[in-house]
Structure 1
Amino acid sequence: MSLPVTAADIRAARARISGHCRRTPVIQVRGEDFGLTTGVTMKLELLQHTGSFKPRGAFNNLLSAPADVGKAGVAAASGGNHGIAVAYAARSLGLHATIFVPATVSPVKLAALNELTRHVIVTGGDYDEAQRACADHVRDSGAHEVHPYGVPSTVAGQGTIAVEWDEQTPGLDTVLVAVGGGGLISGLASWWHGSRVDVVGVEPRGSRALHAALEAGGPVDVTVDSVAADSLGPRNVGDLVHRICAQAVSRVVLVDDGDIVRAQAALWRALRLPAEAGGATALAALLSGAYRPRPGERVGVLVCGGNTDPRLLAT
């Protein structure tokens, strides 16, 4: 069965967002620096504009939107990173953005949002409540909604990471990708579907919407309670993500919050990378043993976000 987002869609997205998003670096890391028996390739999307991978999807969404999108502005609901990216993309394109975030948004992300747009609305106790408020605003105002994971244009934009990674490090066997709403892993899995590369999702045990959907055979609501909830916190991945991941993701592994915090500390200690909790979640699968590579397996880890206070990592 064909996927709703194709390699051709991702190539088109790459051409569309060229000049708006960085080609982020890939580094080869010695295993001994992290207590591992083998080296790892890391793609550093925390060095993307706004500190996460999210501008890729935001720019592709806006640049492929109808020509009159600017009349009522754009809107997005977010735990933080997606909203920052949409506000950044909108400002770059001369559009007005209204961003809805839950009360759990981190101070670092809220400050970044307030620098980019005067229209930040803090509402509800979690991402899903902010999403409902955003949907009401879109219905009443006619604004163009930039969904973080539930539409093909966002997914195709995130898939441009895989195109770059293939060029930078050909021959990977497996990539580990943190999962929140699932737009990121859906984009990478869409690009690598049918290839030799296995795409493995990594979720916090307390925020396992994709894991639960794959178990149930369809999207289901989960309870969210994790240190990474501000970036990996949706309760439900939705139909598009489930359809893609059920076909194209090899498996999903779960990690504990303590594993995520230790991965954050390891990235800071060994590489001085200020990864947020969600950004360190993929590495946590290796450090905790939730994912154990085969002998000789070439593993890539996506470090997807860095919007945190480095002073916290130092302690």
Structure 2
Amino acid sequence: MQISKQQIEFTYERIQKHIRKTPCIVSGNGTFGLKYSISLKLEHLQHSGSFKARGAFNSLLNSRIPEAGVTAASGGNHGAAVACAAHALGLTAKIFVPEISNPAKVDKIRSFGADLHIEGATYADAAALCSQYQAQTGAIDIHPYDAIDTINGQGTVALEWAEQNPDLNTILVAVGGGGLAAGIASYYADTPTKIIAVEPTGSCSLHAALKAGEPVDVELNSIAANALGAKRCGTYPFEVASKHIAQSVLVEDDAILAAQRCLWREMQLVVEPGGATALAALISGAYKPADGERVGVLLCGGNAELIQVNDALKGR
């Protein structure tokens, strides 16, 4: 399995002219009600609105694209990322999303000119339709999390972060299928920096897999499910997590919504629920740093529907 710090460095050389080097800011003591300051990596400002553009660009740039073009199944963010990368590289893309997809993400996919197909109740339904299309046409299928090129692409977040904040002891990362956490953990694998995986209690495929000793199916029922709603974590992410994830913690939806509100009220940052999930672990106390521990939190996605954001900010 070619997922490593060295591979991530090669990947960054390949994709860096196509992506944004997203900013990293320090919160300041007292922000979010915390007695300590944290480092925030603003990856919700990435092209297409999430970190997933990194993996999408790497997958396309490192592949031979057939005449049928590119296809992907997605809850929204991955589809937007693949559509964005395909558009930038002059490729055709067909994206499959389930009916539960956030309208803001659906609109973003369309904005990149992709052929969008909306059908099925869950991501698994969309993935099945995508697989059928790929088999029929020969289009290349870009997997959202269980692919080496995807994981190495996501790991470039860590490379940038290590340059911006080289002294972090701990990084909190939200998990859906596990590709982002696997990429970051792989980059930091031989360093003292520990990676904490954070998932909603109603969407916790990695947590369940680590408990069972292998990937298993989980039920999905969370405010963040349209971003973090993988029914089963990826095989590659599980292998990495088993070796390099220091701890897996769960947070309730109320804590996610509270974190979303705090990010707006205290820092004027709008993120989707999935993007606020890692911060929720600190605000709720699901993860409690030791005294003096230098902590980083990744804000992974900003494709929020404005009506839902307004409701969240009002505490509805």
Q: Which runs of 5+ in 2 are unaligned?
A: none
Residue from 270, 274, 283 that aligns with 1:287: 283
Match of 2:61 in 1: 63
1:91 paired with 2:87, answer yes
Question: In 2, distance between residues paired with 1:129 and 1:194?
Answer: 38
Secondary structure at the aligned position of 2:225 is classed as coil
Q: Which residue of 1 aligns with 2:222?
A: 226
> SS of 2:135's equivalent?
helix
Residue pairs, 1:228-267, within 5 angstroms: 228-267=224-263
Mapped partners of 1:33, 1:196: distance in 2: 26
Write the distance in 2 (CA, Å) between the matches of 1:134 and 1:123: 11
Which amino acid counterpart does residue 122 of structure 2 have in structure 1?
A: D
User: Counterpart in 1 of 2:17?
Assistant: 19
State the distance in 2 between where 1:82 and 1:118 align: 13
SS for the counterpart of 2:203 is coil
Partner of 1:36: 34
What aligned pairs does 1:72-91 form with structure 2 within 5 A after superposition? 72-91=68-87
Q: Within 1, Cα distance between the matches of 2:81 and 2:250?
A: 27
Secondary structure at 1:230 match in 2: helix
CA distance in 2: counterparts of 1:5 and 1:33, whole angstroms: 35
Question: Which region of structure 1 is more displaced relative to structure 2, 31-40 or 277-286?
Answer: 31-40
Q: What residue is the counterpart of 1:309 in the other structure? A: 305
* 1:205 CA drift (Å): 0.2
Counterpart CA distance in 2 for 1:169 and 1:118 is: 36
Q: Percent same amino acid at aligned positions? A: 47
For 2:31 and 2:4, locate their aligned partners in 1 and report how far apart those are by CA, in whole Å.
37
Which residue of 2 is the match for residue 201 of structure 1? Answer: 197
One-letter identity of the residue aligned with 2:45 = L
User: Aligned-residue CA RMSD in angstroms?
Assistant: 1.0
4+ aligned runs moved over 2 Å, structure 1: 309-315
Q: Contact conserved, 2:27 with 2:40, CA < 8 A, in 1? A: yes
- Partner Cα separation in structure 2 for residue 118 and residue 254 of structure 1: 35
Q: Please say if 1:188 is aligned against 2:177.
A: no
Partners of 1:153 and 1:8 lie apart in 2 by: 13
Q: Which residue of 2 aligns with 1:8?
A: 6
Q: Structure 1: where are the runs of 5+ without partners?
A: none
Shift, 1:4, TM fit: 4.0
Q: Indicate conservation of the 8 Å contact 2:83/2:114, yes or no.
A: no
CA distance in 1, matches of 2:224, 2:2: 28
Contact 1:274 1:310 in 2 (8 A): no
Partner secondary structure for residue 226 of structure 2: coil
Aligned length: 311
Q: Is the 8 A contact 1:7 1:190 kept in 2?
A: yes
Whole-Å separation in 2 of the counterparts to 1:41 and 1:115 = 32
What residue in structure 2 maps to residue 52 of structure 1? Answer: 50
* CA distance in structure 2 between the aligned counterparts of 1:118 and 1:62, rounded to whole angstroms: 15
CA distance in 2 between partners of 1:32 and 1:8 (Å): 37
Per-residue displacement from partner, 1:142-194 (whole Å, max 9, x unpaired)?
00011011110000000000000000001100000000011100000010012
1:274 is matched with 270
| Partner Cα distance (2:4, 2:218) in 1 | 29
